[in-house]
Amino acid sequence: MEVFRISREEHSTSLSSSGSANRWNSKGQQVIYTGSSRSLSTLELVVHRGSIKPTFPYKVMVISIADDDHLIKQIKSQNLPKSWRSMAAYPELQHIGSSWYNLRATLVLKVPSAIIPLEFNYIINTEHPEFGTKVRLVRTEDYFWDPRLA
């Protein structure tokens, strides 16, 4: 399966994580957030940053994950609290993601997008034992920012 991550050019050459806390992980947990499409990844980045100022180049990272069902755990929106899309739900969602991260039972956590709940983000656990053999950066692509996104 191919997933996508949009990042600043200087962060686009390797599969690494900042360890920053986010919706599905706590601080210090090394995960990579990816989207099921370039467009969803764009929306996620714009929403996360508030807006994008195209003063520096961005790249699309095309990432391949092995198509082995046992590598992915899916969280369904019907199993989440009603307010899961809100910032107030972050502690509960971080607990869910942190438990998944610490168990290392699967390499990937498939979660609904808070922006478009019928589409999915894929969170990759870089500390999972199969990360090195089942995930690879296929290529990076130049990314064009439409000025209307800024």
**pLDDT by 10s per residue, the chain, length 150:** 999 999 999 999 999 999 999 999 999 999 999 999 999 998 998 887 766 666 778 899 999 999 999 999 999 999 999 999 999 999 999 999 999 999 999 999 999 999 999 999 999 999 999 999 999 999 999 998 777 766
Give the whole-angstrom CA distance, residue 98 versus residue 94: 6
SS3 of residue 109 by DSSP: strand
Q: What is the β-pairing status of strands 108-112 and 58-65?
A: unpaired
* Domain chopping of the chain, boundaries: 2-145
- Tokens 């690494």 found at: 16
Direct distance between the N- and C-terminal alpha carbons of the chain, in angstroms, rounded to an integer = 30
- Would you give the DSSP letter of residue 79? G
Which secondary structure element, helix H or strand E, spans residue 31, and what is its range?
strand 31-35
